Amino acid sequence: MLLKGSWIYMSIKCFAELKQKALEINEQFKVVGIWPDVETIKTAEQAKNIGLADFTFVFHEKIPGFPTIVVPNPQIALETGIDLVIRNEVDTLMKGLINTSLFLKVLIKSKLIKGWVSHTSVLEIPNLDKLIIVTDGTVTPNPSIEQKIEIIKNAVLCAKVLEITMPKVALLSANEWITPNLSSTYDAALITKMFERGQIECEALVDGPVSVDLALSEKSALKKRVALRFDPPADILMAPDLESAAFLIKSAVYIGKVSVAGVLWGMMSPVVLTSRSDNCGSRVISLCIAKIARGVIDS
Amino acid sequence: MLLKGSWIYMSIKCFAELKQKALEINEQFKVVGIWPDVETIKTAEQAKNIGLADFTFVFHEKIPGFPTIVVPNPQIALETGIDLVIRNEVDTLMKGLINTSLFLKVLIKSKLIKGWVSHTSVLEIPNLDKLIIVTDGTVTPNPSIEQKIEIIKNAVLCAKVLEITMPKVALLSANEWITPNLSSTYDAALITKMFERGQIECEALVDGPVSVDLALSEKSALKKRVALRFDPPADILMAPDLESAAFLIKSAVYIGKVSVAGVLWGMMSPVVLTSRSDNCGSRVISLCIAKIARGVIDS
């Protein structure tokens, strides 16, 4: 029941719902797949069959059933793909079997870049009635405070795609106490205060430093007697560096059997960048995020 | 069936088996609980009921049903407990509601210390037919190469408790390639080579840098076409720093709903150090590790 004169914002709670929203968008979504592996081609086939996206490939040989531009190597494939996006012939890129370092190096120097580049992983956790965004396990090994703020802004954009209007952002650290042995606690405290002062243009409820358990579990917050600025679980888990983010995500996926999707922000349109080990289902969901994001960024 | 003239080593596969092994040890196991919270007392009651361990407490008030030494504050409680271990009146300590930093600071300066202090978490993962050791999410924020080697040696001791004779140690990093942007890849490669040269006295099969997915999943290793020195899953996941280890463990527990136990190595006998958010079941298993370890260290 809607209260008179008010909106009730209902965020997207699971991947099935996310897929549904993406399929409801009537405009065509054109993607160029860069140097595909088998999973990328399977993803393209599934996306085409369900009417989610149309694929073109750039590869060293013709891919049956899809328009293919034949090029000699992955780097030229990527440069060709970037050119297609700039010339507005496709909406975005999807990374295939090309080394992530090379992919990012070429991408970041290209004309696609509109801001700070960072990656978000979206986790669908069994028995949790919401999606969790983790950032950034892919781009910047040791972000500065300024870079961390840009990473948060990108994650808030991702939250907007999930229809979360005022996301709860947990700035992660191994400890809740501000301690000189852990520089992540300094950065988290400073960024939290900057948000409190209103000096960052970004609609989000930010608190840190917090440990992973505190960010996710109300019970743990009660036990540790730490009063947070929001009730756990957070919507966005912002890790202090690439490696700790990557371990958090991989642990969830490979130990917890959690499903994950991922896109790269800071470009004209978000780029689908999944891990070589991600399966077709993950990649389709990543495509959905990129498709919905197009409308969010334009608005 | 035992092959003639050979031993078949069967490692401990789950917490139930670990508990069974600890209960089969006939010698008494005496533990002093430092400044207990409710979970610590529940753990002591359970340990007493099943004949696993006998508890004494050091606290600001008498704990019903247990010998209690009454002291005014947590620090004095810890100092009193350490003294009991040194005087051989109890076998080891169990941390209660006392800040981990304070606990470690006092402990590390005490006469209990026999080597480098580090923590291992043991994870019981559903549908995985083995236990996984993760280290070190508790003690040293940024270990040097020398400290990392000591951390590995302690984890190998923990593997011995689990009856793994030649543990597979994955030196984790965000990347499998040696890259100057990620110092963890340098350290991992150097330590791997040191083990290859036989310059480290430690029975283990070590390889790194490897990502979490590669360390755990044979499928991922095949997809990424990286030849490891052992078949995944590894027995020991050695993280490059405290924070990334902590995130890996907490992600498994709070996202993956995995059970975890933990002890601290480098003392006369391993100390039970669990997180405030760990439940009674976790703590009992941690006690079992400490009890079995006593025999392993003496041997």
pLDDT digits (tens, 9 = 90+) for A105-156: 999 999 999 999 999 999 999 989 999 999 999 999 999 999 999 999 999 9
Chain A CB contacts of B224 below 8 Å: 276-277
Q: Which of A174, A182, A252 sits opposite B251 (nearest CB)?
A: A252
pLDDT greater than 60 at residue A4: no
Chain A CB contacts of B211 below 8 Å: 246, 250
Are A276 and B224 an interchain contact pair (Cβ–Cβ within 8 Å)? yes
Are B277 and A213 an interchain contact pair (Cβ–Cβ within 8 Å)? yes
Q: Rounded distance, CA A187 to CA A43, Å? A: 39
Cα angle: B229, vertex B166, B215; to 5 degrees: 45
Residue A220 has a pLDDT of: 82
Distance from CA of A54 to the nearest CA of B (A): 26
pLDDT greater than 60 at residue B145: yes
CATH numbers and ranges of domains, chain B: 27-112 (3.40.50.20), 117-267 (3.40.718.10)
Task: Return the H-helix or E-strand segment holding A184.
Answer: helix A183-196
Q: List the single residue in B with minimal CA-CA distance to A132.
A: B255
Cα angle: B130, vertex B221, A263; to 5 degrees: 105
> Three-state SS for A116?
strand
**Greater model confidence, B223 or A249:** A249
Mean pLDDT over A6-23 rounds to 86
Residue B299 has a pLDDT of: 64
Beta-strand ranges (E) seen in B73-149 are 92-95, 113-124, 131-135
pLDDT greater than 70 at residue B2: no
8 A C-beta contact, residue A282 and residue A259? yes
Residue B272 has a pLDDT of: 95
Distance from CA of B113 to the nearest CA of A (A): 22
> Three-state SS for A237?
strand
Q: Rounded distance, CA B84 to CA B92, Å? A: 9
Phi, psi of B94 (to 5 degrees): -130, 125
Question: CB of A111 within 8 Å of any CB in chain B?
Answer: no
pLDDT digits (tens, 9 = 90+) for A224-248: 788 899 999 999 999 999 999 999 9
Chain B CB contacts of A212 below 8 Å: 246-247, 250-251, 254
Helix, strand, coil percentages in chain B from 3-state DSSP, rounded to 5: 40, 20, 40
Min mean pLDDT across A7-16, B37-46, B149-158 is at A7-16
pLDDT greater than 70 at residue A210: yes
Percent of chain B scoring above 90 in pLDDT:
83
Residue A1 has a pLDDT of: 41
Q: What is the mean pLDDT of chain B?
A: 93
Query: What are the residues whose beta carbons fall under 8 Å from the beta carbon of A200, sequence distance 6 or more?
Result: A149, A152, A153, A191, A194
Quickly count: other Cβ atoms within 10 Å of residue A130's Cβ: 16
* Window 228-257 of B, Cβ < 8 Å to A: 239-257
Residue A201 has a pLDDT of: 94
The confidence band for B285, taking pLDDT boundaries of 50, 70 and 90, is very high
Distance from CA of B16 to the nearest CA of A (A): 19
Min mean pLDDT across A143-147, B113-117, B223-227, B288-292 is at B223-227
Burial class (CB in 10 A: 0-12, 13-18, 19+), A202: middle
Distance from CA of B161 to the nearest CA of A (A): 22
Residue A8 has a pLDDT of: 55
> Three-state SS for B193?
helix
Name A5's bridge partners: none
Are B247 and A212 an interchain contact pair (Cβ–Cβ within 8 Å)? yes
Residue B77 has a pLDDT of: 97
The interface pTM score, or ipTM, of the predicted complex is 0.88
Chain B CB contacts of A174 below 8 Å: 137, 141, 242-243, 246-247
The confidence band for B181, taking pLDDT boundaries of 50, 70 and 90, is confident
Question: CB of B225 within 8 Å of any CB in chain A?
Answer: no
pLDDT greater than 70 at residue B4: no
pLDDT digits (tens, 9 = 90+) for A163-196: 999 999 999 999 999 999 899 999 999 999 999 9
* Window 114-153 of B, Cβ < 8 Å to A: 123, 125-127, 132, 137, 141
For residue A53, give the amino acid letter. Answer: A
* Window 87-106 of A, Cβ < 8 Å to B: 101
Mean pLDDT over B28-39 rounds to 95
Kindly list the distances between the CA atom of residue A23 and the CA atoms of A27, A29, B163, in Å, as whole numbers in the listed order.
Answer: 10, 10, 53
| Dihedral of the alpha carbons of B76, B77, B82, B86, in degrees to the nearest 10 | 90
Asked whether the CA dihedral B246, B251, B252, B253 is positive or negative, the reply is positive
The confidence band for A92, taking pLDDT boundaries of 50, 70 and 90, is very high
Residue A299 has a pLDDT of: 64
Name A121's bridge partners: A134, A262
Q: Which of B173, B216, B220 sits opposite A255 (nearest CB)?
A: B216
Chain A CB contacts of B132 below 8 Å: 255
Name B268's bridge partners: none
* Window 22-81 of A, Cβ < 8 Å to B: none
pLDDT greater than 60 at residue A80: yes
